[in-house]
Amino acid sequence: MIDLHVHSTFSDGSFTPGELVAKGLDAGLTAMALTDHDGTGGLDQFLSACDEEINGRKLIGVAGVEISVDVARGTMHILGYFVNHKDFGLEESLKKIREGRKIRNGKILQKLNDLGFALTWDEVASFAGEDVVGRPHFAQAMISKGYVSSSEKAFDLYLKRGKPGYADRFRLSPEDGIKAIRGARGVAVLAHPSTLDLDSRALRSYTAKLREIGLQGIEAYYPEHSQAHVREYTALAADFDLVMTGGSDFHGSANPNMRLGVGFGSLSVPDNVVDKLLRKREQAL
């Protein structure tokens, strides 16, 4: 059992990289990818923890990242696997995104204050980990002060696109996101395609364009994907020579019903995906 989509305290997860490794082994995982949002700051800790035996077992660690890119509608993320996380070009691209987050965070805080929510930056940041502060941390701060009852309520009423507390931010173009990953010798994969909000014909056309600019995989196995989604993405993978990947998108306490490796219970990512990603990487070098 493997999980190739996991977040730590270096973005918006609630567990440190080392804690994730221990939890992954407890869950029976054999391989895990740390894919924090727009940053690779936790990868040294993660890979070091994967090298240590726990009860006679080790976890295969995959150095990953999840990059936010700009699209006209829906949400689009590009996952990078087996990246050289010390690559200068990748780090410069991620730094631009993080700077955009900082600017956006200030705007969100001001909007929420203007709406009557007495939140300070320190209160919001106290819910973040070592690196990236994002909207989930604003949601947690709002819950702690009794303004909303859940993270879902915070997003639905205030924080998601089109709501009064939302502010946009800088993102890379899809092409630049893929180039940043490929430039760091990683494998570029389209994350959770269902969030693009495209019908089947439009998604096929868009996938063809992404393939032309360097896309190498598609995240077919995902907790919120239906069997119809999986069939659709399987066909796209076959037609465009893409590796089918998957993972739980585990964040920890933000979604306590989500479990490593199995998502809501039915997720199953084939073990051989790791080898397929490595072969795809070697073909591109």
Whether 118 is in a domain gets the answer no
pLDDT of residue 40: 96
pLDDT of residue 102: 87
Q: What is the pTM of this model?
A: 0.88
The crossing angle, in degrees rounded to 10, of helices 174-183 and 88-114 is 140
Give the domain range for residue 73. Answer: 2-85+185-284
**For residue 113, which of 127, 168, 105 has the smallest C-alpha distance?**
105
pLDDT digits (tens, 9 = 90+) for 55-102: 788 999 999 999 999 998 889 999 999 999 999 999 999 999 988 888
Task: Give the integer Cα–Cα distance in Å for 276 and 20.
Answer: 24
Whether 61 is in a domain gets the answer yes
CATH, residue 69: 3.20.20.140
Task: Give the integer Cα–Cα distance in Å for 68 and 179.
Answer: 13
129 band by pLDDT with thresholds 50, 70 and 90: low
In the predicted structure, residue 155 carries a pLDDT above the cut 80: yes
Whether 190 is in a domain gets the answer yes
**Cβ atoms of 233 and 220 closer than 8 Å:** yes
In the predicted structure, residue 131 carries a pLDDT above the cut 70: no
pLDDT digits (tens, 9 = 90+) for 214-256: 999 999 999 999 999 999 999 999 999 999 999 999 999 878 8
pLDDT of residue 137: 87
Greatest mean pLDDT among 161-175, 237-251, 252-266 lies in: 237-251
What residue type is 187 in one-letter code? V
Whether 265 is in a domain gets the answer yes
Strand partners of residue 32: 3, 61
The mean pLDDT value for 197-216 works out to 96
In the predicted structure, residue 130 carries a pLDDT above the cut 80: no
pLDDT digits (tens, 9 = 90+) for 14-66: 899 999 999 999 999 999 999 999 999 999 999 999 999 877 889 999 999 99
**For residue 131, which of 221, 8, 28, 214 has the smallest C-alpha distance?**
8
The crossing angle, in degrees rounded to 10, of helices 135-144 and 88-114 is 30
Whether 211 is in a domain gets the answer yes
Whether 9 is in a domain gets the answer yes
pLDDT of residue 56: 81
Domain count for the chain: 1
What's the per-residue H, E or C state across the chain?
A: CEEEEECCCCCCCCCCHHHHHHHHHHCCCCEEEECCECCCCCHHHHHHHHCCCECCECCEEEEEEEEEECCCCCCEEEEEECCCCCCHHHHHHHHHHHHHHHHHHHHHHHHHHHCCCCCCHHHHHCCCCCCCCCHHHHHHHHHHCCCCCCHHHHHHHHHCCCCCCCCCCCCECHHHHHHHHHHCCCEEEECCHHHHCCCHHHHHHHHHHHHHCCCCEEEEECCCCCHHHHHHHHHHHHHHCCEEEECCCECCCCCCCCECCCECCCCCCCCCHHHHHHHHHHHHC
Whether 256 is in a domain gets the answer yes
Whether 102 is in a domain gets the answer no
pLDDT of residue 255: 83
pLDDT of residue 103: 92
